[in-house]
Structure 1
Amino acid sequence: MNSPVFRNRAHAGKQLAEALVKYADRDDVIVLGLPRGGVPVAYEVAKKLHVPLDVLVVRKLGVPGYEELAMGAIASGGVQVIHHAVMRAMGIPSAALEAEATVQLKELHRRELAYRGHTGAPEIKGRTVILVDDGIATGSTIRAAVQALRQQHPKQIIIAVPTAAPDSCADLAPIVDDLVALIKPEDFRGVGRWYEDFSQTTDAEVTQLLAKASLLETEPVSSP
């Protein structure tokens, strides 16, 4: 399996939704997309399942000079996940971690305001949360998201992604109620490899998709 499987994030979201149909038309279910790239995927899932869509803002803490490599992540609610092994291996001082966390916290708050106009998280107590991203590489971002959600006492947390690294799935599965990944290639080498179009999702696209999802919630569900 060496060629892209998904045309783009919307195509991936439609396929992912098919694997989640048991959660359709349930008033206790909410889909949360991880901005930015997870939101186009999550939109298609929420649309197919006829359930609400919102975002959970999480920011990766990049290693100085190697920003694509995560030394951890932060999420709404003051959650911080640290990859201590990465920090030790790279010789990263705690001051560098604190500096990066300060920068990313500011961006986290900016995005929350941009996407929904406030920094309050959606009400998820007692609900089944389907947490969607466009893929999982190291898993640090989605792990921070799960920890942020646990603080709000949901009934269930389901991670749902089109593609994921097998070892990350093995690490994450014990901390959630279910983990759905359409493909888990042994030769993973990055999320973008499995998409024909993996262009960056913009803040404007995220805002537009959230607005479209809100309109869908007010429409009656049509018969098949």
Structure 2
Amino acid sequence: MRFKDRADAGRRLGALLAPYAAGAGCVLGIPRGGIVVAAEVARQLAWPLRAVSVKKVACPPNPELAIGAVAPDGTAVVNQEAIRALSIEPGELHQAVSTALEEARRREHLYGPLADIQEQLALIVDDGLATGYTAIAAARYVRRMGARPVVVAAPVAARASARLILDECDRLVALTTPSDLESVGHWYDDFRPVDDAVVVALLQELATPPRPAGA
């Protein structure tokens, strides 16, 4: 299964999540690419869209490799096995987490904080789950904010990561769970970067529940 772009993936994921439309909740997109997917889900469910501004913790020797993730309140998840295997020193890890936390807080300031999600169903959406750490950090964060139940959804999720995420949420929904993910971008024809302006525009457009399709 491949996706034309994030909007296509979001529409297909939204169709799978259609049964949730009968209830109430909030779609929480993980910036930046996850917001585009989440926007299509929010439209189909007629739920409001917000951002859950978690940020991956980059590996000091290789910034493209994620060794964890952190939420704006400091909730952090790190891959201890990777840290040991890569011989990352405590000082290096602290700096990597601090850098990610600074960006997470910048994003929350720009995109808006999570508010009024107590006792609400939180549907966390990303464009793909590779290591799973951003989704885990997001799930822990929204639980601390009082959301329940917590559902994580993505067009594609690595099978091994899906098992980890299931321990942190009430349900995981994915269109495909390959044993060999390669990379999230591998599953998209168009996986270009998403900038802040696109994220802000979508959040403003869908801040209140959109009208259901055909209403």
TM-score bracket, normalised by the shorter chain, equals: over 0.9
Which residue among 37, 51, 60 is the counterpart of 1:55? 51
Distance in 2 between residues matched to 1:178 and 1:12, nearest whole Å = 19
Aligned residue in 2 for 1:139: 132
Contact 2:152 2:173 in 1 (8 A): yes
Aligned residue in 1 for 2:78: 82
User: SS of the residue aligned with 2:63?
Assistant: strand
User: SS of the residue aligned with 2:146?
Assistant: coil
Q: CA deviation at 1:50?
A: 0.3
TM-score where L is the length of structure 1:
0.91
Deviates most, 96-105 or 84-93? 96-105
Which residue among 81, 105, 122 is the counterpart of 1:109? 105
Distance in 2 between residues matched to 1:146 and 1:24, nearest whole Å = 21
Q: CA deviation at 1:31?
A: 0.3
Query: Is 1:14 paired with 2:11?
Result: yes
Aligned residue in 2 for 1:171: 164
Which has the larger strand fraction? 1
Distance in 1 between residues matched to 2:6 and 2:109, nearest whole Å = 24
Unaligned runs of 5+ in 1: none
TM-score where L is the length of structure 2:
0.94
- Structural RMSD (CA): 1.5
User: SS of the residue aligned with 1:24?
Assistant: helix
Query: Is 1:205 paired with 2:194?
Result: no
Query: Is 1:180 paired with 2:173?
Result: yes
Deviates most, 134-143 or 167-176? 167-176
Contact 1:25 1:50 in 2 (8 A): no
Query: Is 1:191 paired with 2:191?
Result: no
Unaligned runs of 5+ in 2: none
Amino acid at match of 2:153: A
Contact 1:25 1:51 in 2 (8 A): no
Q: CA deviation at 1:26?
A: 2.8
Contact 1:158 1:179 in 2 (8 A): yes
Which residue among 61, 64, 71 is the counterpart of 1:65? 61
Query: Is 1:161 paired with 2:154?
Result: yes
Distance in 2 between residues matched to 1:139 and 1:94, nearest whole Å = 22
Contact 2:43 2:212 in 1 (8 A): no
Q: CA deviation at 1:223?
A: 4.2
Contact 1:37 1:134 in 2 (8 A): yes
Distance in 1 between residues matched to 2:180 and 2:29, nearest whole Å = 26
Distance in 2 between residues matched to 1:187 and 1:142, nearest whole Å = 19
Distance in 1 between residues matched to 2:201 and 2:211, nearest whole Å = 21
Query: Is 1:30 paired with 2:26?
Result: yes
Query: Is 1:44 paired with 2:40?
Result: yes
Inter-CA distance 221–162: structure 2 relative to 1 (3 Å threshold): closer
Q: CA deviation at 1:63?
A: 0.8
Contact 2:156 2:176 in 1 (8 A): yes
Contact 1:33 1:39 in 2 (8 A): yes
Deviates most, 142-151 or 194-203? 142-151
Distance in 2 between residues matched to 1:109 and 1:174, nearest whole Å = 26
